[in-house]
């Protein structure tokens, strides 16, 4: 007999272990097997018993390049050939901008980041070379400076201190402070995201770190690329297309995605854990953040069940998919695995984290914790910031 669903008994047994109350286990139990690979990508969590499907690092590089080139081409096509008032214009333009932003996120979260760990390419020099080009063209901090700071970020003695890049971003760029009411933090965040002053300040900091670094050749590459794009666009009378198809995603859209992503990557543990440092801090300062929600328990054969499943699928295919494509790109949902096992099996992060969770995360005092939903994860972080001392980030 052809089996279209995972064996319920095996799923139940797994639910009694580390995956207990896991929405992904319930998705595997209630939905056809054919949908499981898509749900694994969307949620960044594998179905129970699903075999690993590792990808080479080069696959992530190709994906990022294709998304950026394809997205820019779609946005340019919409602006050059479609009437502004048509539905097609907005569909193609928004799709192009989303694809470009997703590709830029992969360059930032996966390629640039993992080059700093030396795990994208086979040699240290090639990782460094690609990282430098990415930082010059996409206006990221000079690769060498970023690499030094990122290694400090992985040091439990530096996390949540003045030397920590997370602290620098939350306090220095976003100006989000501890001891503020959770709702006040949300209001401040929403104002930041639409504030021209915030985006200009963020962009200024990026330009200083990229085009005003201590390495003249690196600065010259970045200025040359950006000067060619802008001057060439003006001379060819396509500057508006360049500004919308390329500059907008690299600046405002990437910055919005970065704010959401960083605010959910880490959360403040109790002060005594921060003071204690060590592996306990690593465990409690990070959590898995997975796009998705628990599926309905009702059967779709009833009217109530049909409505519940329709609402669930609508949420998964709109809000959660947008979060996965725009914010939680690449291995960002499994950032806790990266901090516990930096540089290990990142190309197959979904199965690597799950197998480590199932094994009890050997070598660490606490197993993995997770949150389902980007906004819930940020809300939990804001709740932790609200009860933290006002001078924690002094």
What is the full per-residue pLDDT of the chain (394 aa) written as tens digits?
333 334 433 333 333 344 457 999 999 999 999 999 999 999 999 999 999 888 999 999 999 999 999 999 999 999 999 888 889 999 999 999 999 999 999 999 999 999 999 999 999 999 999 999 999 999 999 999 999 999 988 888 888 888 888 888 988 888 888 888 999 999 999 999 999 999 999 999 999 999 999 999 999 999 999 999 999 999 999 999 999 999 999 999 999 999 999 999 888 888 899 888 889 999 999 999 999 999 999 888 889 999 999 999 999 999 999 999 999 999 999 999 999 999 888 999 999 999 999 999 999 999 999 999 999 999 999 999 999 888 877 6
At residue 13, the pLDDT reads 39
Question: DSSP of 374-394, one letter per residue?
Answer: HHHHHHHHHHHHHTS-TTTT-
Distance CA 223, CA 81 (A): 30
333 in Cβ contact with 54 (< 8 Å): no
List C-alpha distances in Å: 188 to 30, 129, 300.
Answer: 40, 38, 41
Distance CA 216, CA 228 (A): 18
277 in Cβ contact with 322 (< 8 Å): no
At residue 343, the pLDDT reads 82
User: Which residues, 6 or more positions from 335, have their beta carbon under 8 angstroms from its beta carbon?
Assistant: 265, 266, 286, 288, 289
Distance CA 82, CA 93 (A): 10
In the chain the beta strands, taken as DSSP E runs, fall at 288-290, 370-372
At residue 300, the pLDDT reads 85
At residue 17, the pLDDT reads 41
95 in Cβ contact with 89 (< 8 Å): no
264 in Cβ contact with 374 (< 8 Å): yes
At residue 157, the pLDDT reads 87
At residue 163, the pLDDT reads 84
Report helix, strand or coil for 303.
helix
Distance CA 71, CA 103 (A): 8
pTM for the full model? 0.91
């Amino acid at each position: 007999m052809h089996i279209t669903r995972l064996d319920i008994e095996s799923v139940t047994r797994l639910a009694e272990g580390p995956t207990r109350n896991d929405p992904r286990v319930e998705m595997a139990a209630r939905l056809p097997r054919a949908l499981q690979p898509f749900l694994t990508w969307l949620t960044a969590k594998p179905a129970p018993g699903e075999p690993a499907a590792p990808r080479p690092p080069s696959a992530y590089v190709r994906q990022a390049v294709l998304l950026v080139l394809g997205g820019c081409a779609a946005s340019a096509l919409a602006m050059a050939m479609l009437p502004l008032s048509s539905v097609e214009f907005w569909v193609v333009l928004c799709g192009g901008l989303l694809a470009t932003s997703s590709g830029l996120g992969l360059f930032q979260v996966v390629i640039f980041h993992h080059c700093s760990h030396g795990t994208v390419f086979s040699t240290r020099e090639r990782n460094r070379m690609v990282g430098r080009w990415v930082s010059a063209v996409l206006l990221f901090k000079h690769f060498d400076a970023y690499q030094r700071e990122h290694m400090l970020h992985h040091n439990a003695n530096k996390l949540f201190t003045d030397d920590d890049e997370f602290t620098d971003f939350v306090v220095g760029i976003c100006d989000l402070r501890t001891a503020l009411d959770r709702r006040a933090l949300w209001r401040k965040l929403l104002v930041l995201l639409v504030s021209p002053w915030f985006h200009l300040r963020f962009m200024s900091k990026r330009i200083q770190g990229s085009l005003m670094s201590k390495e003249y050749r690196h600065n010259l590459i970045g200025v040359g690329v950006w000067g060619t794009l802008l001057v060439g666009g003006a001379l060819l009378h396509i500057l508006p297309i360049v500004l919308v198809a390329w500059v907008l995603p690299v600046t405002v859209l990437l910055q919005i995605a970065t704010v959401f992503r960083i605010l959910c990557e880490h959360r403040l543990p109790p002060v005594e854990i921060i003071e204690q440092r060590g592996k306990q801090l690593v465990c409690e300062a990070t959590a898995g953040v997975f796009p998705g929600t628990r599926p309905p328990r009702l059967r779709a054969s009833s009217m109530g069940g049909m409505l519940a499943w329709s609402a669930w699928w609508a949420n998964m295919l709109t809000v959660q998919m947008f979060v996965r494509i725009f914010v939680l790109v690449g291995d960002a949902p499994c950032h806790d695995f990266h901090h516990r096992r930096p540089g290990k099996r990142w190309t197959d992060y979904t199965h690597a984290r799950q197998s480590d969770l199932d094994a009890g995360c050997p070598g660490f005092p606490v197993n993995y914790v997770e949150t389902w939903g980007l906004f819930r994860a940020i809300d939990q972080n804001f709740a932790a910031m609200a009860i933290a001392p006002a001078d924690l980030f002094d």
